[in-house]
Structure 1
Amino acid sequence: MNIEELDLAGRRAPVKAKGAAARRRGGRVREDFVLETVYWDAGTARLLPRLLKGRTRGPVFVTHRKPGPGKVVSPRDVCPDTGFARLSYGQARALLDGHTAVHGPGTGWDLHEYRHSSLTHLGEAGASLLMLMAKSRHKKPENVRRYFKPSPEAIAGVTSLLAPGNSRR
């Protein structure tokens, strides 16, 4: 994702759909893919300026240094203002693990778990299955269901709806 693609006022940005890879057809690479929109809330909107640090173009997520002399990097993957390289998935995974690990490296969150924990939080807040599917961009309900793991507190709250004298019954 590049800074130029962010709609900061609308708090959204277009991204390639899940599984959108360039396909080969007749020996040629086909670059057409579906664009979907991701949205963010006010908290993220407040943090984005700190992440961008005044940059107005180039990759949104960058490393903290320039690529080494032997590293071949596409011009699209380098910030034109700072020269810093685009943050790779592996680097993002290592950073998240490093900042969330409790019992040493490899014990923190991974990006996939982090993404799907939001489905659990949204489900506990009452979001419908259709909304969870739209948010996560899953096509099949069974794929979303396996990530929705209600907490013991949420289950206790639902159970309390059956209590005698409950006004919501």
Structure 2
Amino acid sequence: MGRVHVLPAAARGVRLADAVRIYLGTITVANTRATYAAALDRLVADFGADTDVAQLDREPDRVSGWFTFVWGAKSAKTFNIRLTALGSACGYWREQGWLTGDPLVRLRARPAPPDTSRALRRDRVAEILGSDAPLRERVLWHMLYESSARAEEVLMLDVPDLDTTNRCAVVTRKGGAREVIAWQTGTARLLPRMLTGRKSGPLFLTDRKARPSVATNDIDPASGRARLSYRRAAELFETHTAGYADGPYTLHQLRHSRLTHAAEEGASTPVLMKLSGHTSVRSLAKYARVSDDGLRRYQADSDPAARRQSSFAIYITSHVGDA
């Protein structure tokens, strides 16, 4: 039997445990980090902490078999969240030169069953908007919720399109119509901090400078950074909300939630149509349905027994006070 040659650590590459630790250290949102760690820690446990991360490149069949064995019987949502975690880590490792291929090439996300309750609860929206996400993301999420505009419409805004004094901007709606959207205090407070005096270029920018192939009108002339794409914005939001039990959420749910909440607050049909940009009441109907939470709140507020009990309590309190 020939001698086994053990390569030095540098030649072997990066230990899987170290690669996972380093990647998780780049995720600043605790919720997301914990969710991704569930998949990556299992990878380390089953493949071995000392395994060279580059070994995953050479065994895509083993990786896909392992993944299917561990999460194949889970729901489509859980399956897809774990796949997203591993895919994001592999993308980071490729950027570092620790991987050259895609160990997940045999795997595909599963179609999730349609969600008939798309609106988020108010407290969940408040939690997302008040999170410790980066400033750019928080401005975008506030603007999408408060204006109920489509993400594509907001992402196409340029700084000169804004009327910060009146808290509004003109967007191009689906179909090409130019209409005003308006936002509230949350956006108004954060927006100046993100702009830092910028007067031109796209409103929402990428973190890095644009490639030479990017169109000039999608580049900020001062920084050279490009307009943030819908795909990247959606990915960031889903990553941030992946840790919730019913997550991850989509950018569209912010729009849907605002319209549902406005309907629950008694907004008229013309106001809802102006908010949404719809020209058909039929198109608006699916967005303006009262949520389960709204139904429970309405029932509690309109319960005659509860009102009688409240009136009796007021009567007792006032008479006890007189005594």
Query: Which TM-score band applies after superposition, normalised by the shorter structure?
Result: 0.7 to 0.9
The reply to whether residue 100 of structure 1 matches residue 241 of structure 2 is yes
The reply to whether residue 147 of structure 1 matches residue 283 of structure 2 is no
Which consecutive unaligned segments of at least 5 residues does structure 1 have?
21-33
Q: Which has the greater radius of gyration?
A: 2
SS in 1 for 2:271: helix
- Superposed CA offset, 1:63-122 (max 9, x none): 001023xx4011110001111000111111111112221269xx4221222211111111
The amino acid across from 1:18 in the alignment is K
Matches within 5 A, 1:62-73: 62-68=205-211, 71-73=212-214
1:41 to 184, 190, 193: 184
Q: Distance in 2 between the 1:165 and 1:72 partners?
A: 64
The reply to whether residue 133 of structure 1 matches residue 133 of structure 2 is no
The amino acid across from 1:36 in the alignment is E
1:55 aligns with 198
1:18 to 174, 182, 205: 174
2:115 aligns with none
Matches within 5 A, 1:74-93: 74-93=215-234
The amino acid across from 1:82 in the alignment is S
SS in 2 for 1:135: helix
Q: Percent of pairs identical after alignment? A: 39
- Superposed CA offset, 1:28-84 (max 9, x none): xxxxxx31001011110111012213322110000001023xx40111100011110
Decide which moves more: 83-92 or 140-149. 140-149
Which consecutive unaligned segments of at least 5 residues does structure 2 have?
1-156, 309-323
SS in 2 for 1:37: strand
For CA contacts below 8 A with separation 6 or more, give which structure has more relative contact order: 2
**Normalised TM-score (structure 2):** 0.43
**Normalised TM-score (structure 1):** 0.79
SS in 1 for 2:207: coil
The amino acid across from 1:98 in the alignment is T
Return the offset for 1:162.
Answer: 5.1
1:110 aligns with 250
The amino acid across from 2:285 in the alignment is R
